[in-house]
Amino acid sequence: MMIKKLTTLFSCILLLTSVSSHAETNTDQWIIEQMKTYNIPGCSIAVIKNYKNKWAKAYGLRDKAHNKPVTTDTLFQAASISKPITALATVTAFHEKHLSLNTNINDILTSWKIPASNYTKHQPVTMRLLLAHTSGVIGFRYKGYTTHDKLPTLLQELNGIPPANTQPVTVIRKPGSKYEYCPAGYTIIQQVLEDIYKKTFADIMQTLILDPLQMQHSTFDEPLPQKWLQNVALPYLPNGKLMPDSPIIFIASAAGGLWSTPSDIAKFVIAVQKTLAEKTPLQIDANIMQMILTPAIDHNMGLGFEVNINKYGEQSKTRDNYFRHGGFNSGYLSMFVGSKTKGNGVVIMINSAPYMDAKSVPQYDFLAQTIKYIAVMEKWQD
């Protein structure tokens, strides 16, 4: 009888293993086929379940010319995923320094000031408004610099002085009157943190976020130091050609200069989720985290995070239970999605995208379809 029971148990284990392996193989095949459809050289994915990194996998090539594969430790440019990580660091810094998010930011800045104007006469720019993209600051996008360009300082970018290739950062409407996605607002935030701590932004982010969360394959250093370059996913254009004079350099790294991996960004997403669940690995508590994920003027934008997202990673008109943020730099696309409860999520990074001035980015469809596929396969709840 005992032998029969053990035989039955062993058969069940084999069956479950077979089903699991079959589902895993189907997922791999589906992702590879989608990559072929969208001409994507390399992809890296991390999936979160029950507040843990359930699995991480890499597909394709990081360097087509030398046939070098993507691994789960390969670095991608995370682009605008830099913003929610910067936002969490900023709220943590203000909490640590006993500063209010509603203080006139010019009272905190020391090395640069937002130029005075009629728009700021009665309503100053505050950190809360900067984080929520409602500060009224001019809304241009950073295109970055090639490996052959002379690089500006952060102050030159803020002032729009050559060799900066950007406009001066100014306020163009009444602060708090309208939502407009504003990378330049995060450059101001970068300067605020440097003024508070008297350190480089990369060092500040290392201390506040990357080290505490053990994000060992992530850095805000720009240009990317030589020690990291050996394991970078090179950026490719949609036609499959390597982007020349790349990777692009972002002095305004708070807005888009993070280099990372899906597994590392998953650690960040899990930290947010655990903080909400009062299992916090951070200095802030659940109430502050809830405030960060509460929409401001726009229904789908909190303080640095897109909110009211459904389980398929889509913006919702209702009060949905997920948060997300994407990233798009020339040659790179990325997206993370996480649930506010249950501890589910996914991070996807690819090394294929058009230049940032492109009118359409078809590779976004790959990210969107992959998120949906994983949400269904993992049986995420609403």
pLDDT (tens, 9 = 90+) of the chain, 382 residues, equals 444 444 443 334 333 333 344 456 789 999 999 999 999 999 999 999 999 999 999 999 999 999 999 999 999 999 999 999 999 999 999 999 999 999 999 999 999 999 999 999 999 999 999 999 999 999 999 999 999 999 999 999 999 999 999 999 999 999 999 999 999 999 999 999 999 999 999 999 999 999 999 999 999 999 999 999 999 999 999 999 999 999 999 999 999 999 999 999 999 999 999 999 998 778 899 999 999 999 999 999 999 999 999 999 999 999 999 999 999 999 999 999 999 999 999 999 999 999 998 989 999 999 999 999 999 999 998 8
Contact between 309 and 300 under an 8 Å Cβ cutoff? The reply is: yes
What is the reported pLDDT for 381?
86
What is the reported pLDDT for 382?
80
Going by C-alpha positions, the residue among 220, 71, 250 that lies closest to residue 143 is 250
What is the reported pLDDT for 20?
42
Contacts of 310 (CB under 8 A, 6+ apart): 316, 320, 321, 322, 382
Residues 75 and 256: their CA atoms lie apart, in Å, by: 14
Going by C-alpha positions, the residue among 175, 182, 171, 172 that lies closest to residue 122 is 175
Q: What is the mean pLDDT of the chain?
A: 93
Residues 81 and 304: their CA atoms lie apart, in Å, by: 9
User: Terminal CA-to-CA distance of the chain, rounded, Å?
Assistant: 45
Is this model's pTM higher than 0.85 or not? Answer: yes
Report the 10 Å Cβ neighbour count for 281. Answer: 13
What is the reported pLDDT for 352?
98
Interhelix angle 82-96/262-276, nearest 10 degrees: 40
Residue spans per domain, the chain = 39-377
What is the reported pLDDT for 19?
37
Residues 83 and 64: their CA atoms lie apart, in Å, by: 30
What is the reported pLDDT for 18?
38
Assigned superfamily of 39-377: DD-peptidase/beta-lactamase superfamily (3.40.710.10)
SS3 23: helix
